[in-house]
Protein backbone atom coordinates (compact mmCIF):
# COMPACT_ATOMS: atom_id res chain seq x y z
CA UNK A 1 0.00 0.00 0.00
CA UNK A 2 2.81 2.44 0.81
CA UNK A 3 4.43 1.53 -2.53
CA UNK A 4 1.22 2.33 -4.39
CA UNK A 5 1.04 5.74 -2.74
CA UNK A 6 4.66 6.38 -3.70
CA UNK A 7 3.84 5.59 -7.36
CA UNK A 8 0.85 7.86 -7.27
CA UNK A 9 2.92 10.66 -5.70
CA UNK A 10 5.66 10.18 -8.25
CA UNK A 11 3.14 10.35 -11.09
CA UNK A 12 1.70 13.54 -9.74
CA UNK A 13 5.15 15.09 -9.39
CA UNK A 14 6.11 14.02 -12.94
CA UNK A 15 2.93 15.45 -14.40
CA UNK A 16 3.52 18.72 -12.61
CA UNK A 17 7.07 18.84 -13.89
CA UNK A 18 5.92 18.25 -17.50
CA UNK A 19 3.25 20.90 -17.14
CA UNK A 20 5.77 23.42 -15.84
CA UNK A 21 8.13 22.61 -18.67
CA UNK A 22 5.37 23.26 -21.28
CA UNK A 23 4.34 26.64 -19.79
CA UNK A 24 7.79 28.20 -19.47
CA UNK A 25 8.63 31.85 -20.43
CA UNK A 26 8.06 32.53 -24.27
CA UNK A 27 9.91 35.45 -25.89
CA UNK A 28 9.32 34.55 -29.52
CA UNK A 29 6.03 36.38 -30.42
CA UNK A 30 5.45 39.75 -28.75
CA UNK A 31 2.71 40.75 -31.19
CA UNK A 32 0.65 37.71 -30.40
CA UNK A 33 1.15 38.44 -26.72
CA UNK A 34 -0.16 42.05 -27.23
CA UNK A 35 -3.18 40.72 -29.01
CA UNK A 36 -4.17 38.47 -26.21
CA UNK A 37 -3.14 40.79 -23.40
CA UNK A 38 -5.84 43.23 -22.21
CA UNK A 39 -5.35 46.93 -23.06
CA UNK A 40 -4.48 48.92 -20.02
CA UNK A 41 -5.71 52.45 -19.28
CA UNK A 42 -2.31 53.80 -20.22
CA UNK A 43 -2.37 52.08 -23.60
CA UNK A 44 -5.93 53.30 -24.27
CA UNK A 45 -4.91 56.88 -23.59
CA UNK A 46 -1.96 56.49 -25.95
CA UNK A 47 -4.23 55.19 -28.75
CA UNK A 48 -6.66 58.04 -28.24
CA UNK A 49 -3.80 60.54 -28.31
CA UNK A 50 -2.49 59.10 -31.60
CA UNK A 51 -5.97 59.23 -33.14
CA UNK A 52 -6.44 62.92 -32.28
CA UNK A 53 -3.08 63.74 -33.80
CA UNK A 54 -4.08 62.19 -37.14
CA UNK A 55 -7.40 64.07 -37.12
CA UNK A 56 -5.68 67.30 -36.26
CA UNK A 57 -3.27 66.77 -39.17
CA UNK A 58 -6.15 66.20 -41.56
CA UNK A 59 -8.00 69.23 -40.20
CA UNK A 60 -4.85 71.32 -40.55
CA UNK A 61 -4.46 70.25 -44.18
CA UNK A 62 -8.12 70.98 -44.87
CA UNK A 63 -7.77 74.37 -43.19
CA UNK A 64 -4.68 75.16 -45.26
CA UNK A 65 -6.52 74.18 -48.44
CA UNK A 66 -9.47 76.32 -47.42
CA UNK A 67 -7.18 79.25 -46.70
CA UNK A 68 -5.52 78.82 -50.09
CA UNK A 69 -8.91 78.75 -51.81
CA UNK A 70 -9.91 81.83 -49.85
CA UNK A 71 -6.78 83.66 -50.99
CA UNK A 72 -7.41 82.59 -54.58
CA UNK A 73 -11.00 83.79 -54.41
CA UNK A 74 -9.91 87.08 -52.86
CA UNK A 75 -7.31 87.52 -55.58
CA UNK A 76 -9.96 86.74 -58.15
CA UNK A 77 -12.28 89.24 -56.51
CA UNK A 78 -9.49 91.80 -56.56
CA UNK A 79 -8.96 91.11 -60.25
CA UNK A 80 -12.65 91.48 -60.94
CA UNK A 81 -12.72 94.72 -58.96
CA UNK A 82 -9.69 95.97 -60.87
CA UNK A 83 -11.30 95.15 -64.19
CA UNK A 84 -14.53 96.77 -63.09
CA UNK A 85 -12.64 99.85 -61.96
CA UNK A 86 -10.81 100.01 -65.26
CA UNK A 87 -14.09 99.87 -67.16
CA UNK A 88 -15.64 102.47 -64.89
CA UNK A 89 -12.72 104.83 -65.27
CA UNK A 90 -12.91 104.78 -69.06
CA UNK A 91 -14.63 107.83 -70.58
CA UNK A 92 -18.17 107.09 -71.58
CA UNK A 93 -19.11 107.58 -75.20
CA UNK A 94 -22.54 109.19 -75.56
CA UNK A 95 -25.10 106.73 -76.89
CA UNK A 96 -26.21 109.46 -79.33
CA UNK A 97 -23.07 110.66 -81.09
CA UNK A 98 -24.99 113.58 -82.61
CA UNK A 99 -25.48 115.10 -79.14
CA UNK A 100 -22.21 117.01 -79.63
CA UNK A 101 -24.04 119.28 -82.09
CA UNK A 102 -26.81 120.22 -79.66
CA UNK A 103 -25.32 123.64 -78.93
CA UNK A 104 -25.18 124.50 -82.64
CA UNK A 105 -28.75 123.31 -83.14
CA UNK A 106 -29.84 125.38 -80.15
CA UNK A 107 -28.44 128.50 -81.83
CA UNK A 108 -30.43 127.81 -85.01
CA UNK A 109 -33.51 126.99 -82.94
CA UNK A 110 -33.26 130.32 -81.14
CA UNK A 111 -32.92 132.12 -84.48
CA UNK A 112 -36.06 130.46 -85.86
CA UNK A 113 -38.11 131.04 -82.72
CA UNK A 114 -37.16 134.73 -82.75
CA UNK A 115 -38.05 135.17 -86.42
CA UNK A 116 -34.43 135.66 -87.49
CA UNK A 117 -34.26 138.56 -85.02
CA UNK A 118 -36.17 140.81 -87.40
CA UNK A 119 -37.21 143.02 -84.46
CA UNK A 120 -33.58 144.08 -84.19
CA UNK A 121 -32.92 144.51 -87.91
CA UNK A 122 -32.35 148.25 -87.67
CA UNK A 123 -30.44 148.15 -84.42
CA UNK A 124 -26.70 148.40 -84.08
CA UNK A 125 -26.49 145.05 -82.32
CA UNK A 126 -28.55 143.11 -84.88
CA UNK A 127 -25.74 140.73 -85.87
CA UNK A 128 -24.83 140.02 -82.26
CA UNK A 129 -28.13 138.22 -81.72
CA UNK A 130 -27.13 135.38 -84.02
CA UNK A 131 -25.21 132.51 -82.54
CA UNK A 132 -21.50 132.47 -83.29
CA UNK A 133 -21.80 129.16 -85.16
CA UNK A 134 -24.53 130.32 -87.56
CA UNK A 135 -23.25 131.01 -91.07
CA UNK A 136 -23.71 134.51 -92.45
CA UNK A 137 -25.52 133.58 -95.64
CA UNK A 138 -28.36 131.63 -94.06
CA UNK A 139 -29.22 134.67 -91.92
CA UNK A 140 -30.17 136.80 -94.96
CA UNK A 141 -33.49 135.12 -95.76
CA UNK A 142 -36.37 134.22 -93.49
CA UNK A 143 -36.97 130.59 -94.38
CA UNK A 144 -37.60 127.13 -93.00
CA UNK A 145 -34.45 125.67 -91.42
CA UNK A 146 -33.69 121.96 -91.57
CA UNK A 147 -30.91 119.71 -90.37
CA UNK A 148 -29.62 116.21 -91.09
CA UNK A 149 -26.75 113.99 -89.97
CA UNK A 150 -24.53 112.08 -92.35
CA UNK A 151 -21.13 110.38 -92.04
CA UNK A 152 -19.59 111.92 -95.15
CA UNK A 153 -16.06 110.61 -94.83
CA UNK A 154 -16.99 107.23 -93.32
CA UNK A 155 -14.90 107.68 -90.17
CA UNK A 156 -17.74 106.77 -87.81
CA UNK A 157 -18.59 110.36 -86.82
CA UNK A 158 -21.58 111.99 -88.49
CA UNK A 159 -21.42 115.54 -89.76
CA UNK A 160 -24.23 118.05 -89.23
CA UNK A 161 -25.83 119.55 -92.37
CA UNK A 162 -27.90 122.74 -92.10
CA UNK A 163 -30.23 123.65 -94.97
CA UNK A 164 -32.91 126.22 -95.80
CA UNK A 165 -36.13 126.09 -97.82
CA UNK A 166 -37.66 129.40 -98.87
CA UNK A 167 -40.75 128.04 -100.61
CA UNK A 168 -42.24 126.57 -97.46
CA UNK A 169 -42.11 123.02 -98.80
CA UNK A 170 -41.93 120.46 -95.99
CA UNK A 171 -39.88 117.29 -95.89
CA UNK A 172 -42.94 115.16 -96.63
CA UNK A 173 -43.32 116.81 -100.04
CA UNK A 174 -41.55 114.98 -102.91
CA UNK A 175 -40.48 118.39 -104.23
CA UNK A 176 -38.51 119.10 -101.05
CA UNK A 177 -35.01 120.12 -102.13
CA UNK A 178 -33.41 122.49 -99.61
CA UNK A 179 -30.28 124.52 -100.16
CA UNK A 180 -27.40 123.27 -98.06
CA UNK A 181 -25.83 126.25 -96.32
CA UNK A 182 -23.67 125.10 -93.41
CA UNK A 183 -21.68 121.99 -92.59
CA UNK A 184 -20.18 121.05 -89.22
CA UNK A 185 -17.85 118.29 -88.09
CA UNK A 186 -16.51 117.06 -84.73
CA UNK A 187 -12.77 116.65 -84.17
CA UNK A 188 -13.13 114.68 -80.94
CA UNK A 189 -13.03 117.76 -78.74
CA UNK A 190 -15.11 120.48 -80.34
CA UNK A 191 -17.51 121.21 -83.19
CA UNK A 192 -15.89 122.83 -86.24
CA UNK A 193 -17.54 124.62 -89.17
CA UNK A 194 -16.06 123.10 -92.34
CA UNK A 195 -16.77 126.10 -94.59
CA UNK A 196 -16.97 129.18 -92.36
CA UNK A 197 -18.03 132.25 -94.36
CA UNK A 198 -16.15 131.57 -97.58
CA UNK A 199 -14.81 134.79 -99.08
CA UNK A 200 -15.50 134.35 -102.79
CA UNK A 201 -18.62 136.49 -102.67
CA UNK A 202 -22.10 135.72 -103.93
CA UNK A 203 -24.20 132.78 -102.86
CA UNK A 204 -22.44 129.66 -101.63
CA UNK A 205 -24.08 126.26 -101.35
CA UNK A 206 -22.88 122.68 -101.37
CA UNK A 207 -24.02 119.19 -102.29
CA UNK A 208 -22.99 115.81 -100.90
CA UNK A 209 -22.10 112.91 -103.18
CA UNK A 210 -20.80 109.38 -102.87
CA UNK A 211 -17.20 108.54 -102.02
CA UNK A 212 -17.07 111.43 -99.54
CA UNK A 213 -17.32 114.15 -102.20
CA UNK A 214 -18.50 117.63 -101.19
CA UNK A 215 -19.33 119.87 -104.16
CA UNK A 216 -19.26 123.55 -103.24
CA UNK A 217 -20.88 125.97 -105.71
CA UNK A 218 -20.13 129.69 -105.61
CA UNK A 219 -22.56 131.81 -107.67
CA UNK A 220 -20.57 134.89 -108.62
CA UNK A 221 -21.60 138.15 -110.28
CA UNK A 222 -21.98 138.27 -114.06
CA UNK A 223 -23.24 134.66 -114.07
CA UNK A 224 -19.82 133.33 -113.29
CA UNK A 225 -19.67 130.12 -111.31
CA UNK A 226 -16.88 128.45 -109.39
CA UNK A 227 -17.27 124.78 -108.50
CA UNK A 228 -14.90 123.20 -106.01
CA UNK A 229 -14.64 119.51 -105.15
CA UNK A 230 -13.58 118.67 -101.61
CA UNK A 231 -13.09 115.66 -99.37
CA UNK A 232 -12.69 115.73 -95.61
CA UNK A 233 -9.15 115.21 -94.35
CA UNK A 234 -7.97 112.59 -91.88
CA UNK A 235 -8.65 114.88 -88.92
CA UNK A 236 -12.37 114.74 -89.72
CA UNK A 237 -12.88 118.51 -89.99
CA UNK A 238 -10.51 119.94 -92.61
CA UNK A 239 -11.82 120.08 -96.19
CA UNK A 240 -9.14 119.20 -98.74
CA UNK A 241 -9.48 120.54 -102.27
CA UNK A 242 -9.58 117.80 -104.90
CA UNK A 243 -10.56 119.70 -108.06
CA UNK A 244 -11.84 123.10 -109.16
CA UNK A 245 -13.84 124.27 -112.18
CA UNK A 246 -14.55 127.80 -113.30
CA UNK A 247 -17.24 128.92 -115.73
CA UNK A 248 -16.99 132.39 -117.24
CA UNK A 249 -19.87 133.95 -119.13
CA UNK A 250 -19.62 136.39 -122.03
CA UNK A 251 -22.82 138.38 -122.12
CA UNK A 252 -21.89 140.87 -124.86
CA UNK A 253 -23.72 139.08 -127.66
CA UNK A 254 -27.34 138.13 -128.07
CA UNK A 255 -26.64 134.76 -126.50
CA UNK A 256 -24.40 134.11 -123.55
CA UNK A 257 -21.20 132.25 -124.33
CA UNK A 258 -19.59 130.17 -121.58
CA UNK A 259 -15.97 129.22 -121.24
CA UNK A 260 -14.93 126.32 -119.01
CA UNK A 261 -11.73 125.98 -117.04
CA UNK A 262 -10.34 123.24 -114.86
CA UNK A 263 -8.11 124.04 -111.86
CA UNK A 264 -9.76 127.40 -111.41
CA UNK A 265 -9.99 130.61 -113.34
CA UNK A 266 -6.32 130.52 -114.25
CA UNK A 267 -6.34 126.82 -115.09
CA UNK A 268 -6.63 125.02 -118.38
CA UNK A 269 -9.56 125.78 -120.68
CA UNK A 270 -11.59 122.67 -121.43
CA UNK A 271 -14.62 121.92 -123.57
CA UNK A 272 -18.13 121.84 -122.19
CA UNK A 273 -18.22 118.11 -122.80
CA UNK A 274 -15.01 117.58 -120.82
CA UNK A 275 -16.34 119.74 -118.03
CA UNK A 276 -19.63 117.86 -117.77
CA UNK A 277 -17.92 114.48 -117.95
CA UNK A 278 -15.45 115.39 -115.22
CA UNK A 279 -18.18 116.76 -112.98
CA UNK A 280 -20.39 113.71 -113.46
CA UNK A 281 -17.51 111.57 -112.28
CA UNK A 282 -17.75 113.28 -108.90
CA UNK A 283 -21.54 113.49 -108.66
CA UNK A 284 -22.23 109.85 -107.75
CA UNK A 285 -25.25 109.03 -105.53
CA UNK A 286 -24.99 108.85 -101.77
CA UNK A 287 -25.15 105.41 -100.19
CA UNK A 288 -28.16 106.64 -98.15
CA UNK A 289 -30.45 109.60 -98.52
CA UNK A 290 -30.34 112.33 -95.91
CA UNK A 291 -33.12 112.25 -93.32
CA UNK A 292 -34.21 115.83 -92.71
CA UNK A 293 -35.77 117.31 -89.59
CA UNK A 294 -37.18 120.82 -89.39
CA UNK A 295 -36.07 123.20 -86.69
CA UNK A 296 -38.95 124.94 -84.91
Decide: 180 and 161 in contact? Cβ < 8 Å. yes
Give the DSSP letter string of 257-280: EEEEEESSTTSEEE-HHHHHHHHH
* pLDDT for residue 291: 95
Decide: 100 and 186 in contact? Cβ < 8 Å. yes
Q: What is the pLDDT along the chain (296 residues), one digit of tens a residue?
A: 444 444 444 444 444 443 334 444 444 443 343 343 444 454 444 444 444 545 555 555 555 555 555 544 545 444 444 444 444 444 344 456 689 999 999 999 999 999 999 999 999 999 999 999 999 889 988 999 999 999 999 999 999 999 999 788 889 888 899 999 999 999 999 999 999 877 655 678 999 999 999 999 988 877 789 999 999 999 999 999 999 999 999 988 889 899 999 987 778 999 999 999 999 999 999 999 999 999 99
Give the DSSP letter string of the chain: -HHHHHHHHHHHHHHHHHHHHHT----S-HHHHHHHSPPPHHHHHHHHHHHHHHHHHHHHHHHHHHHHHHHHHHHHHHHHHHHHHHHHHSPPPPSSGGGGGHHHHHHHHHHHHTGGGGGGTTSTTTGGGS-TTS-TGGGGS--EEEEEEE-SSSSS-PEEEEEEETT---TTSTT--PEEEEEEEE-SSSEEESS-S-TT-SEEEEEE-GGG-EEEEEE-GGG-EEEEEEEE-TTSS-EEEEEEEEEEEE-SSSS-EEEEEESSTTSEEE-HHHHHHHHHHH-PPPSS----EEE-
Instruction: Give 3's Cβ-side CA count (13 Å radius).
Output: 0
Q: What is the pTM of this model?
A: 0.66
* pLDDT for residue 141: 86
Distance, CA of 31 to CA of 200 (rounded, Å): 119
* pLDDT for residue 42: 47
* pLDDT for residue 196: 85
* pLDDT for residue 98: 81
* pLDDT for residue 183: 96
* pLDDT for residue 69: 53
Distance, CA of 207 to CA of 215 (rounded, Å): 5
* pLDDT for residue 86: 45
Q: In terms of residues, how long is the chain?
A: 296
Amino acid sequence: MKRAKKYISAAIILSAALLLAGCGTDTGDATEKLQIEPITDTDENAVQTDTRTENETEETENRAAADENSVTEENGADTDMTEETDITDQPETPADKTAVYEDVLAQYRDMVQHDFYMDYLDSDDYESHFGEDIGEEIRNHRQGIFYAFYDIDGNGTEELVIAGEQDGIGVSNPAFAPWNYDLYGFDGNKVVSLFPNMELGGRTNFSLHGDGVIEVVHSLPQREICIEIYKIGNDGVTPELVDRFYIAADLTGEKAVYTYFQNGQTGSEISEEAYRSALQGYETPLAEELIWEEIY
